A = this chain, B = another copy of it.
């Protein structure tokens, strides 16, 4: 486990190199044997589990139920919704042989599950009494990626996908917004990511959707990360798969459906929102270990320190603090300090014979400078307090970063400058050609029409035609 090179490339020098080094050095992930695939190592998977538990609880509390649908989908199913297949066809992995034979019809590995779930909903829904149908699935999906990037864009990733069917547009829209709000809450409250929620422009919609909503976070290189999306499908999938119900009036009607997803890329978002040149910085609510205790002292001293360290860990554990003792005998305290900084542990406690004699431990927080003594007696309450403060600090720090890297722009020059280092709040005419031109010139795309942006009119920042959205959009380069 010893590493020769402890440091990482500074963010300011090469953010992309920083990210790649950190995800491997913090032992979050590793490369799978097939190009573009990823192994999520125990430390990274635990972050995902903590996130997953929180999302799952919120999904269930809002009346949804989990189910599981097959991985393999007949190729012909995907073709029933024209825009959907057009969007996903280039990314499909196709099974042509199974059980030692060539298959009559090729099967695709699900890139998303609208089609197979649509097929089942058509079978399960017959009356208005069956609505709304509120399903969720935790699953792996495969999308062939030409430029894979650990956690952010891999050939296979893990996610939840909500799929719901409703009697009418109003109810389906309510659901779409409920999922969007859930994602905004998870991002802010758990991941400490101050995302901006709102609608996507037509060009950025999910293939087959009538409306797509998103929560966008700003990473520490100023780029945007789409962190969760929620789609209103209208009756597109209902018509493609025959999802119909008999209304109270006796009429046969098409359902209005939605889908929404949040994935393991959120772990990448956490890294790029909070990390620094020493490595990861984890929000306490997502940290596998919230507190690491490093016993100080070699030989006989180690023997003295370890039992009280264990007792302290046990008391913290009972107070609900995820605590780990780093008792590796062959590593120096300095090595351990660096190691847990790289892994983003919010709080470190050092416990040596002198601290012990004074009835205290030395506390350092991952973003603080210097060390403070903490009384062993009151440690559980004190650490609960410090962890809560650390979680709040991360959200505040990320909000300040986002706000100081977001600029309301009036001219194309200002726009170009703004999207070099962050986001531009700008008017846009709403045409696809103009979006494409902006992208070609700057790599920036319209990330979101902020739901809580003030109503404003103005001229398109690029082509000077009148604004189409009644407010400013956020433009930025994106992952």
Residues of A within 8 A of B (CB): 1, 30, 32-34, 37-42, 45-46, 48-49, 65-74, 77, 89-100, 106-107, 109, 116, 119-120, 123-124, 126-127, 129-130, 135, 139-140, 142, 144, 146, 155-156, 158, 328, 330
Contacts and interface: CB of A to CB of B under 8 A. Distances in A.
B70 A34 contact: yes
A47 to B, nearest CB: 11
A71 B123 contact: no
Contacts of A90: 99-100
How many copies make up the complex? 2
B96 A92 contact: no
B65 A140 contact: no
Given A37-B72, A95-B95, 6 more contacts: A1-B129, A40-B68, A45-B66, A71-B109, A71-B140, A71-B156
Given A94-B95, A96-B94, A330-B129, A32 B1 contact: no
B92 A98 contact: yes
A140 B93 CA distance: 17
Given A46-B66, A120-B39, A135-B42, A94 B98 contact: yes
Nearest to A42: B65
Given A73-B33, A74-B34, A68 B93 contact: no
Contacts of A106: 97
A34, A38, A46, A73 pick with most chain B CB within 10 angstroms: A34
A102 to B, nearest CB: 10
Contacts of A77: 33
Contacts of A49: 66
A107 to B, nearest CB: 6
10 contacts: A32-B69, A33-B116, A34-B70, A34-B74, A40-B67, A49-B66, A72-B142, A92-B98, A94-B96, A109-B109
A285 B425 CA distance: 54
Contacts of A328: 129
A330 B128 CA distance: 12
A94 B109 CA distance: 11
Contact of A39 (B70, B93, B95, B144): B70
Contacts of A68: 39-40, 45, 48, 158
Contacts of A120: 30, 39
Contacts of A32: 69-70, 72, 116
Nearest to A137: B45
A94 B97 contact: yes
A48 B65 CA distance: 13
